[in-house]
Structures are given as structure tokens and as C-alpha cells.
Amino acid sequence: MAAASLSGAFTAVVTPFTDDLSEIDWPAFERLVDAQLAGGISGLVPCGTTGESPTLTDAEQRELVKRTAALAKGKVPIFAGTGSNNTKKTIDASKAALEAGADGVMIVMPYYNKPSQDGLIRHIQTVTKELGGAPVILYNIPGRTGIELTVESTLKVLDSSPNVVGIKDATGNVMWCQELLRRAASRVTLLSGDDPLTLPMMVVGAKGVISVTSNLLPREVSEVCADALAGRWDDAKKKHLALLPVHRAMFVEPNPQPVKAALALEGRMKPGVRLPLVEASAGCREAVSRALEEYRKR
């Protein structure tokens, strides 16, 4: 898969659970994926942080990827979240996801260990080499991992790992994406990892977003990206700014608590999340409900 094919809105798919949280609610999951496809989403990313990957079993992750692939039927690319702070585990999880039907994988930078930049580079190189050329998206989110892959390190990775086709930039630092795009725009596709920053990042060359909000509003998020990619900047700006309060509401509490609350308010799944996350508070539910109501009556 060429880097150029990574564009538009990709959904970081949530994982619905049954009432007691012991099992995945497969009917709800299938409805969610079907709604993404019907809404014109450009790609699907199961088993990421939004999908509560830290609390999924290996078997659950494989089954999520398998079912996502079966539902997508090749219509959109699937990049499974497989990263961890253990290089061998990341390799094993990535191979399992590819065998289950993923088109590629997304690997988060190793958390908690706080490796040096050399350690990050060698981690990525080791994983990508073991995957036989399968496409890889790097996920840079220092707010969750405690470590940032620098632009200089990213350039070194691109020199050594040609199957790194994309970067999910959730640094929250628009200078990071600008510097990378200034130096490597032709070598890798950059996708926003923060819904509120999607349009600002696309203005300087990002090609889309891996989105939380699109679980709820796939068509609306997709339209912002499509307008921006087509150069319809006034339309993209109008739609992006209208969505901004919804984007913000999705992060008033730890993700994915708010988006699950929003989907539950619409009767699409249960709101439960597995510990150590907790179900969205009454205040969060009110904020989410208010943002959606205001968006839809605009």
C-alpha cells in the first residue's frame, strides 16, 4: 500500500462491551462498522487506544481484526493497533493482525519504558523488518506514552524502514508536523491524531485524520477531509469549526469514555469501559449531549 493511498478520515474504532464488560458486544460492533462504511469513511483502525487495546485479550484483538476485515470486504484499508512497550510482543501482535486480515498495522511508541531516541529507532526498525514489507503507521502520542519520537528520529526511520507509510501525529504540537512535512512530505503520509487539529494540520500538508469523533459522525468528519483534499478550504473551514465543540466534548474525560457515552445516548451500544477506565460521569454525558444537540440544530 503506497503512502499516497492514505488519505481522508480513518476511524479509530471503539470496542463495545456487554453489560458486565466480560465480552465484546459483537452485534453492536458490526452495526458500528457498517455505519462507518455507509458514512463514507476512508479507513478503519481497530484495537487502538480508542478501542481499549490495553484491556483486550490477544484473542479478542485477533477476532476484532478478523471481523473488521470481513465487514469491510476490501472496501477500505484496515490498520490494526498492535504496538506495545515490548518489541517482541509488538511483532507477534502485528503478525497476528496481518494474518487475521489487516492491511497494515499501527504501532504506538513504547510507553512507560521511556527509551532513548536510539531505542525508539531500533524498536521501529526491528518491528518493520520482521513484517515482510507490510505497511506500518507510526503513532506518536507523547501525552500518553511519556516519550516523543523526534522529527530527526523519524527521518532516520524513513531512511531505514521503507514500509513506514504513515505517521499518526498526536503530539498536539503543530510545529512538529510542519517540520516533518517541510523535510519529508514526499516520503510519508501524515495524519492528524487530534480531531480539533485536523484542518490546521491539513492546511500545511497532512492528508487526513485518524478520528475519534468519526465513530459518531463518520460522514461529517469525512466531508471535512474531502473538502480540504479537494482544495475547498472555505467549505472545509465552515464544517470543521461547526464540529469543533463536538471534538472537544469527546475529550472532556479520558478517551473513549465520552465517545462511548455519546454512542450510548443514541442507543448504538452500551457506555461501559473496562477498568481502569470508568463509565462517563453525569457531567461528561451532559457535555456530550449538549455539544451534539447544538451541532445538529445549527
Catalytic residue among 168, 207, 239, 260: 168
User: 261 lies in a domain?
Assistant: no
Enter the C-alpha cell of residue 188. 510519508
User: 167 lies in a domain?
Assistant: yes
Task: Provide mean pLDDT across the span 110-119.
Answer: 97
**What local confidence, expressed as pLDDT, does residue 292 receive?**
97
**What local confidence, expressed as pLDDT, does residue 74 receive?**
95
pLDDT in tens, 194-206: 999 999 999 999 9
User: 282 lies in a domain?
Assistant: no
User: 264 lies in a domain?
Assistant: no
Contact 25, 18 (CB under 8 A): yes
User: 295 lies in a domain?
Assistant: no
User: 279 lies in a domain?
Assistant: no
**What local confidence, expressed as pLDDT, does residue 257 receive?**
98
- Return all residues near 221 (Cβ < 8 A) that are at least 6 apart: 9, 41, 195, 198, 209, 211, 213, 214, 243
**What local confidence, expressed as pLDDT, does residue 298 receive?**
87
**What local confidence, expressed as pLDDT, does residue 154 receive?**
98
Residue 86 backbone dihedrals phi, psi, to 5 degrees = -130, 115
Q: For the full predicted model, state whether its pTM sits above 0.85.
A: yes
What CATH number is given to the structural domain containing 20? 3.20.20.70
Q: How many domains does the chain have?
A: 1
* Confidence bin at 2 (pLDDT 50/70/90): very low
Report d(CA 113, CA 83) in Å as an integer.
13
Domain that holds residue 58: 3-232
Catalytic residue among 75, 112, 129, 139: 139
User: 81 lies in a domain?
Assistant: yes
CA 200, 205, 210, 215 torsion-angle sign: positive
pLDDT in tens, 130-157: 999 999 999 999 999 999 999 999 999 9
Percentage of the chain surpassing pLDDT 70?
99
Q: Is the pLDDT of residue 232 over 80?
A: yes
- Reply yes or no on whether 168 is catalytic: yes
Enter the C-alpha cell of residue 263. 454512542
User: 132 lies in a domain?
Assistant: yes
Q: Is the pLDDT of residue 4 over 50?
A: no
Task: Provide mean pLDDT across the span 20-28.
Answer: 98
* Count of residues in the chain: 298
- Reply yes or no on whether 129 is catalytic: no
Q: Which among 101, 74, 13, 50 is positioned nearest to 273, based on CA atoms?
A: 50
- Average pLDDT, rounded, for the chain: 97
